[in-house]
């Protein structure tokens, strides 16, 4: 199965992301917005994994989760990857909780390395929430990013999840496979 580890949004957070996306539509050119119910904070993309790897994750990751207490996250501001030129990814930044997210991602990476689980480790971790992508063949951009620097939502991160991603013509479909509660 195709899998990743993430912190999932609350229903209120998904609603706030949907409202933000609606407010951005007039300023977004060539951007395909992610369905709000699919938005999440990716901690680690694992790619295709075997059932044995899933079993190893379910055995290994509770210890990581137990080392962390729940923490507050504030999603604020809009940006893009790459920072200049045509937009590939449109994102919301993490104003509060970025250090805790980075520490959690680091602990997960260490646990994956120790368990011999491979993952996409090419890019350095940058806490963000993807809300849209540039459409292929279009020069995608967002006008007036600075006008969208308000707080979007706040939430408590109290767990992270092993998620299955099935690709569908209408977009990826995500299914929760395991929950790891932060109990530290």
13-49 tens-digit pLDDT: 999 999 999 999 988 999 999 999 999 999 999 999 9
Give the contacts of 14 (CB within 8 A, at least 6 positions apart).
Answer: 36, 37, 39
Region 73-101: mean pLDDT is: 94
Cβ neighbours around 29 below 10 Å, total: 14
Beta strands 31-33; 159-166: pairing state = unpaired
In whole angstroms, give the CA distance from residue 36 to residue 45.
Answer: 19
pLDDT at 145: 63
In whole angstroms, give the CA distance from residue 176 to residue 6.
Answer: 10
Region 93-110: mean pLDDT is: 97
% of the chain beyond a pLDDT of 90: 80
In whole angstroms, give the CA distance from residue 31 to residue 97.
Answer: 27
pLDDT at 8 over 90: yes
Cβ neighbours around 1 below 10 Å, total: 17
**pLDDT tens digit string along 103-132?**
999 999 999 999 999 999 878 899 999 999
CA dihedral in degrees (166, 172, 175, 177; nearest 10)?
60
Give the contacts of 142 (CB within 8 A, at least 6 positions apart).
Answer: 24, 27, 28, 29, 31, 78, 80, 87, 90, 148
pLDDT at 148: 65
In whole angstroms, give the CA distance from residue 2 to residue 118.
Answer: 12
Q: 2-181: which CATH number, 3.90.1140.10, 3.60.15.10, 3.40.50.1110, 3.40.50.300?
A: 3.90.1140.10
Average pLDDT, the chain: 93
Indicate the SS3 state at residue 112: helix
Question: Which pair of structure tokens corresponds to residue 33?
Answer: 């917005």
Least confident of 50-64, 93-107, 135-149: 135-149
pLDDT class of 146 with cuts at 50, 70, 90: low
CA distances for 116 relative to 43, 57, 94, 110, 134, angstroms: 17, 10, 30, 10, 34
pLDDT at 147: 58
Instruction: Report domain extents, the chain.
Output: 2-181
CA distances for 30 relative to 73, 105, 116, 129, angstroms: 29, 31, 40, 19
Least confident of 32-36, 81-85, 161-165, 180-184: 81-85
pLDDT class of 139 with cuts at 50, 70, 90: confident
pLDDT at 150: 79
């Amino acid at each position: 199965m195709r899998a990743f580890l993430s912190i999932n949004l609350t229903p209120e957070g998904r609603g706030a992301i949907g409202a933000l996306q609606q407010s951005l539509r007039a300023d977004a050119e060539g951007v395909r917005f992610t369905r709000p119910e699919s938005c999440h904070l990716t901690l680690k993309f694992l790619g295709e994994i075997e059932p044995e790897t899933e079993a190893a994750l379910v055995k290994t990751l509770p210890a990581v989760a137990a080392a962390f207490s729940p923490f507050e996250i504030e999603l604020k501001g809009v940006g893009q990857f790459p920072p200049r030129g045509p937009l590939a990814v449109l994102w919301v930044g993490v104003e509060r909780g970025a250090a805790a997210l980075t520490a959690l991602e680091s602990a997960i990476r260490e646990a994956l390395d120790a368990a011999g689980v491979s993952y996409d480790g090419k890019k350095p971790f940058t806490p963000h929430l993807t809300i849209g992508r540039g459409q292929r063949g279009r020069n995608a951009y967002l006008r007036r990013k600075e006008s969208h620097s308000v707080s979007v939502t706040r939430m408590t991160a109290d767990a992270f999840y092993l998620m299955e991603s099935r690709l569908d013509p209408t977009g990826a479909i995500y299914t929760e496979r395991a929950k790891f509660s932060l109990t530290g």
